Structures are given as structure tokens and as C-alpha cells.
Amino acid sequence: MRFLPQVHRQTSLREFVFLMAGLMSVVAMGVDGMLPALAEMRVDLAVAQASDMQYVVLVLFLGLSAGQLVCGPAADRYGRKPVIAVGFKI
């Protein structure tokens, strides 16, 4: 089987800015999508006190932090593009 040679092209500044803005907005959309659903989540999770729902937000941010701890060094080692591609595939 023959493989075609890979062509590397330089990413333009505009493309880079749009990609980074899109990736940053994923976090904001996750939070904004979760907050209105907290009341229904409270019923589904059978949480007695409404103030305990703050732990759901805490777990969201802990998960995001853990992802940074894993993906940050991986991006340093392998580059941003492969790490982002793996992140989107998961």
C-alpha cells in the first residue's frame, strides 16, 4: 500500500484565532447549558438541599482542570494539533 506524502501548511493567524475562540467557547457553552438544568438535575439526583447542587458545578470545573493537567504536558510533548484532534475524537 502506498501512502501519499503529508503536506504541511502554515496556519494563518485568522484561522488560529477562530480555532482558539471556538475551543474557549466550548467551556462557556458547557457551563451555560448546565446551569439552567440544575433544578431538574436536583430532582433526578435526589438531592435534598438545593445548596448541594454547587457540587455539580465543582465537579465540572474539577474535570476541566484535570483535562488541563493531562492535555497541557501532552501538548508540550506532541504539539497542540494532535492533542486537540484526540480531544475532539473522545
Would you kindly state where each structural domain of the chain is located, as residue ranges? Answer: 13-89
pTM for the complete prediction? 0.62
Model pLDDT for residues 56-82, shown as the tens digit of each residue: 889 988 988 898 899 999 999 998 889
Model pLDDT for residues 4-48, shown as the tens digit of each residue: 566 677 778 898 899 889 888 988 888 888 889 888 989 998 888
Q: Residues near 45 by Cβ (< 8 Å), separated by ≥ 6?
A: 56
Contact 41, 53 (CB under 8 A): yes
pLDDT, residue 64, reads 85
Contact 59, 34 (CB under 8 A): no
pLDDT, residue 78, reads 92
Report the first-to-last Cα separation within the chain, whole angstroms: 28
